[in-house]
Amino acid sequence: MSSDNGDRVILTHPLGATATILKYGATCILWTVGGAERLWLSEGAHLDGSKAVRGGIPLVFPVFGPGKKNHPTEALPQHGFARTSTWEFLGQTTSDPVAVQFGLGPEQVPEATRALWATPADFLVVVTFTLSATLLTTAVEVANTGSAAFDFQWLFHTYLRVQAIDSVAVQGLVGQTRLNQLTSADVTDSHEVVFSEEYDLVYKQVPESVAITVAEHGAVTHTTRRVNLPDAVVWNPWIAKAGGMADFTPKDGYRHMVCVEPGHVSSFVSLAPGALWHASQELL
Ligand code: TA6
């Protein structure tokens, strides 16, 4: 079942799983299975619409990272405007699994921010959250409802909760090419990702057949599957970066999270007038 609680919608599965989605950013801030929290949410996260939520599953659109030079996204804020706009709750579509939808159009984006996208884009983005007993699926559909093509990027900025980062390994990416955003170097991983400093890695063109897993002491605790999202970012801010973010608390919170972020971010999706684009991530 789902309940609209004003600024948020709460999903409850008959077997006990829950999810809470803020209408601000259509940000999933809570997902529990068997009473255990599966996502990481900063204690300092702004949940009042004053700032993008630090944690959960922020939605990144129409650009990942800073606006791109000499591109219509150049003037946009980091990670675009989807996570800082209030989405319309469109209602529940199924009861088991329980699914709800949220929609974003230009009219819901703060005008000052919308004007920064140098694209005469008329668009409609619909995100569907589907909660089953053990899975949370987040699916997105982007529609070009205007008469001009536009380019965009999409990413689910998923903060996964872990027990202790020093016992974590992110698996499935060996042999994949990645851009180290900290050094701008392209490298190919020869081993699973383990953490001892800030990691900010964009894995490019990772086959959809690859399930990206998070293991703790060798036991898989999270599995991320992707549809039509060729790239995946792996991020942990570590000590200094966590210390520098006012809304990242407690400061040792970096020990209890790792971001595995499915997206289309190493290039832009070009969407013709009238065209639709679909993608999804499935979390177990
Ligand atoms: O997804 C990784 C990343 O792009 C990092 O570079 C870091 O900036 C992180 O996103 C958080 O960005 P935010 O704008 O939410 O502080």
- The per-residue pLDDT string of the chain (284 residues; one tens digit each, 9 = 90 and over) reads 999 999 999 999 999 999 999 999 999 999 999 999 999 999 999 999 999 999 999 999 999 999 999 999 999 999 999 999 999 999 999 999 999 999 999 999 999 999 999 987 899 999 999 999 999 999 999 999 999 999 999 999 999 999 999 999 999 998 888 888 888 888 887 788 999 999 999 999 999 999 999 999 999 999 999 999 999 999 999 999 999 999 999 999 999 999 999 999 999 999 999 999 999 999 99
Residue 104 parent element (H or E) = strand 98-104
Ligand 1, atom 14, residue with closest C-alpha: 78
- Contact between 83 and 21 under an 8 Å Cβ cutoff? The reply is no
Secondary structure of residue 165 in the 3-state scheme = helix
Query: Residues, the chain, total?
Result: 284
Q: Residues lining ligand 1, judged by CB closer than 6 Å?
A: 52, 65, 78-79, 157, 181, 200, 233, 235, 259, 261
Ligand 1, atom 2, residue with closest C-alpha: 235
Q: Which atom of ligand 1 is closest in space to residue 78's alpha carbon? A: 14
Tally of helices (H runs) and strands (E runs) in the chain: 2, 22
Q: % helix / strand / coil in the chain, to the nearest 5?
A: 10, 50, 45
| CA–CA gap between residue 66 and residue 25 (Å, rounded) | 18
DSSP state of 234: E
> What is the set of active-site residues?
157, 261
- Structure-token pair, residue 202: 């964009």
CA of 158 to the centre of ligand 1 (A): 11
| CA–CA gap between residue 261 and residue 155 (Å, rounded) | 6
CA of 65 to the centre of ligand 1 (A): 7
Q: Which of 200, 202, 247, 254 to mutate to test the pocket of ligand 1 (most atoms within 8 A of CB)?
A: 200
Start-to-end CA distance of the chain, whole Å, equals 20
- Residue written as token pair 């619909």: 126
Q: Global pTM?
A: 0.97
- Structure-token pair, residue 94: 């199924």
| CA–CA gap between residue 259 and residue 196 (Å, rounded) | 15
Across 105-196, the runs of DSSP E, i.e. the strands, are: 123-131, 136-144, 150-156, 159-161, 168-171, 177-180, 185-188, 193-194
Q: Which atom of ligand 1 is closest in space to residue 52's alpha carbon? A: 15
Ligand 1, atom 9, residue with closest C-alpha: 235
